[in-house]
């Protein structure tokens, strides 16, 4: 019985993850016409992530500001610099920085 339950939860998490990815795709599409709509998609994605306890995929985490949760588009509302193997995002909405470590390249 317990096994069935966890299986169901697994399915739900999988669905939530797909929905999160879909929301970010929608946010990307909407940005040019309606940036505030993109922000709403980010909010929805975050809510899903919290509700189902699924982490937002790493590649999508840098698509929104972790301080003000606005959808970020490089060159539009954020600036990107790379420094010492780190990527620094500067959010133009709230004027805060986010840092990401670049994945290290494997030595041949
Ligand atoms: Zn921000």
Q: What is the CATH number of the domain that holds 7?
A: 1.20.5.420
Residue numbers of the domain that contains 84: 2-101
Mean pLDDT computed over every residue of the chain: 92
Return d(Cα 22, Cα 19) in angstroms, integer: 5
How many distinct structural domains can be found in the chain? 1
Cα of 89 to ligand 1 centre, how many Å? 10
Confidence of residue 71 (pLDDT cuts 50, 70, 90): very high
pLDDT of residue 24: 98
Query: Is residue 93 assigned to a domain?
Result: yes
Ion ligand 1: residues, CB < 5 A? 65, 67-68, 91, 93-94
Cα of 103 to ligand 1 centre, how many Å? 23
Query: Is residue 108 assigned to a domain?
Result: no
Least trusted range by pLDDT, from 24-33, 35-44, 84-93, 95-104: 95-104
Task: Work out the percent of the chain whose per-residue pLDDT is above 90.
Answer: 80
Return d(Cα 87, Cα 101) in angstroms, integer: 6
pLDDT of residue 102: 77
pLDDT of residue 1: 53
Cα of 77 to ligand 1 centre, how many Å? 9
């Amino acid at each position: 019985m317990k096994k069935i339950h966890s299986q169901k939860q697994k399915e739900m998490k999988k669905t939530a993850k797909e929905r999160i990815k879909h929301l970010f795709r929608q946010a990307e599409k909407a940005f040019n016409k309606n940036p505030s709509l993109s922000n709403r998609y980010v909010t929805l994605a975050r809510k899903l992530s919290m509700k189902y306890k699924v982490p937002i995929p790493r590649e999508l985490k840098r698509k929104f500001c972790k301080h003000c949760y606005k959808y970020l588009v490089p060159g539009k509302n954020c600036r990107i610099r790379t420094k010492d193997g780190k990527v620094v995002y500067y959010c133009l909405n709230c004027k805060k920085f986010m840092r990401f470590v670049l994945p290290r390249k494997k030595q041949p």
